Structure 1
Amino acid sequence: MRRIALLAAAGLLASPAAALAEPAGKSTLQETIRVQGGYGKGPYHPLERGGGERYTVRTTLAPAGRARARARRSLAFFGQLTDPQIADEMSPARVELLDPAGGAVSASWRPQEALGTHVFDATIRNVNRNRVSPVKQGDGKRARLGFAITTGDLPDNTQRNETQWMVSVLEGGRVDPFSGKPLTATNSCPGATPEQIAQMNDDVANRRYTGVQDYSGYPSAGADRQAGFWDPDVAPRGGAYASFPRYPGLMDRAQQPFTAEGLRMPWYSSRGNHDGLVQGNASASSPIFQAIVRGCLKIYPTQAFDPALLIGRSGDEALAAIGNPAFVGRLLSGAGRTPPDPDRAFVSKPEYKQLQGTGDRRHGFGFTAKDELTASRGTALYYSFSPRRGLRFVSLDTVAEGGGSEGNVDDPQYRWLVKTLRTAARRDELVIVYSHHTLETTTNRTPDEEAGCDNPQGAGCDGDPRRSTPLHLGLSGRASIRDLLLANPHVIAYVNGHTHRNAVKAFKRGRSGFWQVNTASHVDFPQQSRTLELLDNRDGTLSLFGTILDTAAPIAEPPPGPAAAFSDTQLSSLARTLAANDPQTRPVTSGDGPGRKSDRNVELLIRDPR
């Protein structure tokens, strides 16, 4: 009784109302989830139920006719999934020791990252349960969800096993989020003692977690370095995670296989920087990362490296520092051990496409034009398709192969986009473009050729023999993506992710324009997805409804205590609460993951260009 009273006093037990709240089958029109005490404020807070949010009608691009609801008909109803960043949290190629520096490197580690596959499954489960449109057509009928688009950063570290996990969650069936294989002659750990080999094999047999969320893995680093991370088994070492509760056994529980429901509709992919670059920043062709990713040496926080040295540095500067061979050599000399795994290998662009499988035209990549595939030596991953007559979806690949978290569009892809939009206009098709980066974050001036190799089958390589320059950026330069989209009135929307926050913005020129719709991630709070429905109001305007969905996990996280018996649903609930309390979540999301009310449930009016 004393333990329960203490937990209640600390605010760690959910209220009865929150405990009964169940987002599954609901959208945020019916109920929302909020942080008790306020998002990003103070010590660890549980979550609670909030009221629903009506649609905000936005008329920057067209007026809202009074009779539109009585005449409208649905043209397309689809879902958007973005930025789950499913992480192999035990991978030697991760650079978690940078994370305490904050700022540009504050996404190097997250307290909830081991639960990424469970969160993604809970996201998909609620998309499946919201397949009937919340918007009535003029005849009283409601459309059914036809398909979903993914706007990048599905794996976190461009690894094969992470990519396989994300496909398994999307397709449904058994998902095994554990990494590490028994040591053999072909999966060895050079220099390991017999005792270390026996320990690693025992860890694999018992599916034990090895990583920065186990302080015993790096005891010599000292409490000051450990304080930059959260080990749910023991009392926090102080610092930013001092108020986090204990969940003994959580990290081992997170490694257990589970059955994913799978998305019950077709889905179409686009790549993000984490799909193609090491932790979303560095080329996977880097000899340093190639040398360690499948091996057994795990770089832990250490007194040899003070993350404070990187405060104020950009992500590129931080990775350049840790990419120095001599520096990495010093870190590796004191590294810990984790079971090696050949499935951690980095994936090339052709392999990334292959791992998507053959369904739904290779989940969009099968629509890539044959002449683009030929000219790019099979590396082009941009395409367009028409889900119904009069409507065209265009997927862009905005990953900068030369490195850097922000995006760009190389010149061959830009020229293809020009032709695609002209053809759509000639056919009088409405166009929705989607990609990973927003226009504001399509700012990368690094040519693809700086990836360091030109093998089309090589991970991290620029296999396209065509020159990438001149590069095309989102908002600047003579031939920006914004200007191209504005020059084509049939483009009505640009849908993306990357910033991990809900944001909707109108771009306008004269009487034409388009809406940029940016949706929060599945990894950081609020862990949301969005459905989008395009309707013809039959009065010379179109309406694009965006509806925010929370995951299907209950709002109330499990109370502190042993985690071995937690259900998969409880893991998803806990992940949401951890994400809401991550002290670095606000810098990662440019200040505010949930965004403004007018960025969430929206009706976006636009003139019909047809």
Structure 2
Amino acid sequence: MSRTRSVAGSGQGIHRRSVLAASGAVALSAGVGYALRPSDSQAATTTKEATEAVAASSRQAPAAPLAPYTKGTTVASVATPRSGSGYRRLGDGPGWQRVVRSDLAAPKSGRTGRRTALAAFVQLTDLHIIDAQHPLRLEYLRSADIHAWRPHEALTVQGAIALVERINALRGAPVTGSPLHFAMTTGDNTDNNAKSELEWFLKIMSGGRITPNTGDPRQYEGVQNSGLKQYWQPDAALRDSDKQVGFPHLDGFLKAAVREVRSPGLNLPWYSTVGNHDSLPMGCYASHGDSYLTELAVGGKKLMNVSAAEAQRLLTLIKNAGDPKGVSYHDFLKSHARAMRSVTPDESRAPFTPAEYLRAHLNPAYQGVGPAGHGYSSANLDAGTQYYAFRISDDVIGISLDTTDAGGHYEGSIGTAQLKWLERTLKENKDSHAVIFSHHTSKTMTNTRRDPARPGERRHTGQEVLALLGGHRNVLAWVNGHIHKNVITPHSTSSGGSFWEISTASHVDYPQLARIIELTDNKDGTISLFTTLVESSAPHRTDFSDLSQTGLAALYRELSLNAPGAKANLGGDPKDRNTELVLKKG
């Protein structure tokens, strides 16, 4: 490895060049810099002026000496269910202790006083920003699977804004006190592959006013005022199935849920990684180009209720990847046309293509503090790719993969061209530590359907990616999401490579977390990766009479705890939460 230039040394000032590099100014996507404008035919080259311009807009580094900053993290406190049965309320609880993991290397004494920080960043994953009134949503699957619809889905925007507020309030990294250099979203930023959701996501991240409502601008139109007992009807006197287990009656809830809110936007640079819900309608169908489904998405009809037997058949097809192109889904909806209810049409609910996803990220209106394109460049647009590399710090690069299989289904894989690019990028940067980002985990990359746009290209599984990464000793971590659960897995190979796979829980299912990751050189032949989970800024305790933006964000968390059928283990074990992950320096 090259000589380490630390972001922060013990008792020393911040190395300015490292901070500039960490601000995201230098992109390595196919050897070119990031695009400055979506109309560029070629990506702009990186210049000293461009580097300093991006750095100037990022968070200012604190003065030395640095001190750990745990306020607002799960080291300090965690939302904890109060005792009792039925609908459970949340309150303040003790923090989670840090667990030292020596699976890949033995921690050496005295490392705390020797270590220097290489980089620190925040991972957000599976925000699932939901247009809760979208005509193509699969809420009716709840008649077969109680967790197929969540009672809190109308509040994803308010919840995500509170997470942005929490990240903005962090004044340094929890262990080293290093400045947080960037945030990375690892996919499923949207839920229905709808343009409305994409706009809301980009405004949440970059700042702006958002009205989380489509259709009738005056009111909510969806399953939560449908009068159907299988959905929580918060404003109605109806004793629905959720109220029967303790869900509250909240006058004015739906009016508040679709009211305009404001996001401050992240106050540090952010990057974007694509997930299956960002690429495929419903996160599983390769149905772009199906005019009937597109017309239904923007039209005035919505299916809200089917029998349990019908719901189970459709659910089985989805889970078993029996309908990757959405043909049966198309036929299913067509056969239920007469059972659909009238809603207000809205063109903003149209699905977006991968190219439109890229153009939206490249739109200067959503740049925030940068970088332009949030990792993506006009080179990606020209090539039809959604993977790239970027410089995190002097000695660390980040590599963002596209693991969605365009052939359909929610599990992933990558094509041969991307696999070769990954190999080449690691070789060309062999003197830098590498952090890999993707949406899917290694175990969920089992879908090898051919990409319709590249029918002659083979697809590769997570096991093949693990084998490739294990052959490069500069790889430190593979950071991902998709499974909505905190899991940290050690990987080592016979060739001597070792790294940690860090999978983080979602922000749509309880316990609704993001993760800070710090990279440090222990100056003893080992490296430590520190992981620290954070919740949103919303108070742990809810007040049913508080339907403000903040009150709804708190309610979002508590409702997710109580969602019928929700898994209780998504927070993971202590060894998957706040950790020190030790490995040998490559």
**TM-score w.r.t. length of structure 1:** 0.79
Distance in 1 separating the partners of 2:239 and 2:253 = 18
Aligned counterparts, 1:57-68, within 5 A:
57-68=100-111
Structure 1 residue 212 and structure 2 residue 215: aligned? Answer: no
Residue pair 1:158, 1:274 contacting (<8 A) in 2 also = yes
Residue pair 1:158, 1:278 contacting (<8 A) in 2 also = yes
What's the CA shift string for 1:299-318, capped at 9, x where partnerless? 12145974355576653348
Offset at 1:598?
Answer: 1.0
Match of 1:165 among 197, 200, 211: 200
Aligned counterparts, 1:555-566, within 5 A:
555-559=540-544, 566=547
Distance in 1 separating the partners of 2:525 and 2:160 = 39
1:71 aligned residue: 114
Aligned counterparts, 1:289-328, within 5 A:
289-302=293-306, 306-309=310-313, 314-315=318-319, 316-317=321-322, 323-328=328-333
Offset at 1:343?
Answer: 1.2
1:227 aligned residue: 229
Residue pair 2:285, 2:323 contacting (<8 A) in 1 also = no
Shift in CA distance, 246/52, structure 1 to aligned 2, threshold 3 Å: same
- Which runs of no fewer than 5 residues in structure 1 stay unpaired? 1-22, 137-141, 181-202, 217-225, 450-461
Q: Which amino acid aligns with 1:524?
A: D
Offset at 1:500?
Answer: 0.7
1:453 aligned residue: none
What's the CA shift string for 1:235-281, capped at 9, x where partnerless? 45454552211112212211011111210000000100110111211
Aligned counterparts, 1:500-511, within 5 A:
500-510=484-494, 511=496
3-state DSSP class of the match of 1:481?
helix
Distance in 2 separating the partners of 1:540 and 1:33 = 38
Shift in CA distance, 252/72, structure 1 to aligned 2, threshold 3 Å: same
What's the CA shift string for 1:155-198, capped at 9, x where partnerless? 11111110010000111121111112xxxxxxxxxxxxxxxxxx
2:264 aligned residue: 261
Shift in CA distance, 30/279, structure 1 to aligned 2, threshold 3 Å: same
2:347 aligned residue: 342
Structure 1 residue 52 and structure 2 residue 95: aligned? Answer: yes
Q: Which amino acid aligns with 2:555?
A: L
What's the CA shift string for 1:534-553, capped at 9, x where partnerless? 01111111111001001100
Offset at 1:79?
Answer: 0.5
Residue pair 1:229, 1:241 contacting (<8 A) in 2 also = no
1:391 aligned residue: 396
Shift in CA distance, 325/403, structure 1 to aligned 2, threshold 3 Å: closer
Offset at 1:127?
Answer: 1.0
Match of 1:545 among 523, 530, 545: 530
Match of 1:33 among 65, 79, 82: 79
Residue pair 1:77, 1:143 contacting (<8 A) in 2 also = yes
What's the CA shift string for 1:291-337, capped at 9, x where partnerless? 21111111121459743555766533488888354432231222111
1:12 aligned residue: none
Structure 1 residue 596 and structure 2 residue 573: aligned? Answer: yes
What's the CA shift string for 1:522-580, capped at 9, x where partnerless? 11101111111101111111111001001100011123x6xxx6111100010101100
1:531 aligned residue: 516
Aligned counterparts, 1:229-244, within 5 A:
229-235=231-237, 237-239=239-241, 242-243=244-245, 244=247
Distance in 2 separating the partners of 1:24 and 1:537 = 21
Structure 1 residue 583 and structure 2 residue 569: aligned? Answer: no
Offset at 1:71?
Answer: 0.7
Shift in CA distance, 393/551, structure 1 to aligned 2, threshold 3 Å: same
Residue pair 1:236, 1:242 contacting (<8 A) in 2 also = no
Match of 1:423 among 428, 453, 463: 428
1:486 aligned residue: 470
Distance in 2 separating the partners of 1:74 and 1:524 = 32
Q: Which amino acid aligns with 1:593?
A: L
Distance in 2 separating the partners of 1:245 and 1:143 = 43
- Which runs of no fewer than 5 residues in structure 2 stay unpaired? 1-68
Match of 2:157 among 114, 117, 121: 117
3-state DSSP class of the match of 1:124?
helix
Shift in CA distance, 308/364, structure 1 to aligned 2, threshold 3 Å: closer
1:277 aligned residue: 280
3-state DSSP class of the match of 2:439?
coil
What's the CA shift string for 1:471-504, capped at 9, x where partnerless? 11112xxxx0110010111111000011111111
Aligned counterparts, 1:178-193, within 5 A:
178-180=213-215
Distance in 2 separating the partners of 1:600 and 1:236 = 40
What's the CA shift string for 1:182-223, capped at 9, x where partnerless? xxxxxxxxxxxxxxxxxxxxx43x2x111111133xxxxxxx
Count matched residues: 509
1:513 aligned residue: 498
1:408 aligned residue: 413
3-state DSSP class of the match of 1:448?
coil
Structure 1 residue 381 and structure 2 residue 386: aligned? Answer: yes
Match of 2:255 among 252, 256, 279: 252
Q: Which amino acid aligns with 1:521?
A: S
Structure 1 residue 436 and structure 2 residue 439: aligned? Answer: yes
Residue pair 1:82, 1:153 contacting (<8 A) in 2 also = yes
Q: Which amino acid aligns with 2:554?
A: S
Residue pair 1:227, 1:241 contacting (<8 A) in 2 also = no
Q: Which amino acid aligns with 2:226?
A: Y
Distance in 2 separating the partners of 1:270 and 1:304 = 36
Distance in 1 separating the partners of 2:400 and 2:446 = 18
Distance in 1 separating the partners of 2:584 and 2:113 = 18
RMSD between superposed Cα atoms in Å: 2.3
Distance in 1 separating the partners of 2:404 and 2:313 = 28
Offset at 1:87?
Answer: 0.7
**TM-score w.r.t. length of structure 2:** 0.82
Distance in 2 separating the partners of 1:258 and 1:311 = 34
Match of 2:166 among 117, 126, 139: 126
Match of 2:548 among 560, 567, 584: 567
Offset at 1:35?
Answer: 1.9
Distance in 2 separating the partners of 1:284 and 1:607 = 46
Q: Which amino acid aligns with 1:435?
A: S
Q: Which amino acid aligns with 1:404?
A: H
1:4 aligned residue: none
Residue pair 1:432, 1:491 contacting (<8 A) in 2 also = yes
Offset at 1:378?
Answer: 3.2
3-state DSSP class of the match of 1:343?
helix
Residue pair 2:143, 2:307 contacting (<8 A) in 1 also = no
